[in-house]
Copies of this chain bind each other. A is one copy, B any other.
Amino acid sequence: MKIGVLGTGEVGRRLAARLAGLGHDVMLGSRTADNPVAAEWAREHGGHHGAFAEAAAHGELVVNATGGLVALDVLTAAGTANLDGKVVMDVSNPLDFSQGFPPRLVVPEAGSVAEQLQQAFPRARVVKTLNTMNNTLMTDPARVSGPHNVFVCGDDEAAKTEVADLLKSFGWPEQQILDLGGLSAARSVEPVVLLWVTLSSVLHTADFNFAILR
């Protein structure tokens, strides 16, 4: 599958590498077409790199791996036409590190970043997922044992199924993928990143995850 991954940070590169490793045709997108980090990634993983709009145009599915505070700008740069009808897998968190640590959560007017993106690009099919864990765990869930969960929410059922299939290909067992319903659930799952940050400080590791036990 052709996939565009927007964002050349650790999260974007990790997801793009895993997707390329699984045989997908991946383009890593950044603000400028000549980003050296993206170029190095492309050389190392046999993928492509380009500006946000090129990566979005390339993808049949688009991953937003940019920060939640810039995501709307990034998708605007990617271009409405390049997102039309496509699944947009949003893994971002709206954290403001400008005041230092711990970061502050910024809640967009729309209620969440995912809903903000969906409102701005109504023909994109936004699915929120993976934002509640470290990027190493996203693509290798077996790093943590036990029935820990990845949350998924979105208004388009077929888009959620497509995202769940990608998660399964990463190694997520179906019973650990927890469907939270419509995209408005993003406003309850984005703030969880604050607890993740606190826990990573207290536990001195990023290799942990939330599990919902019944």
Contacts and interface: CB of A to CB of B under 8 A. Distances in A.
Contacts of A213: 144-148, 208-211
B102 A184 contact: yes
A75 B110 CA distance: 34
A207 interface: yes
A210 B212 contact: yes
Interface stretch (A7-15, A79-87, A167-175, A195-203): A195-203
A87 B178 CA distance: 38
A96 interface: no
Contacts of A144: 213-214
A192 interface: yes
A115 B174 CA distance: 40
B184 A202 contact: no
Interface in A67-111: 102, 105
A198 B185 contact: yes
A48 to B, nearest CB: 36
Contacts of A188: 102, 194-195, 197-198
A56 interface: no
Contacts of A212: 199, 203, 208-211
B205 A214 contact: yes
B208 A214 contact: yes
Contacts of A17: none
Contacts of A203: 212, 214
Nearest to A105: B191
> Closest 4 interchain pairs by CB?
A191-B191, A188-B194, A188-B198, A146-B213
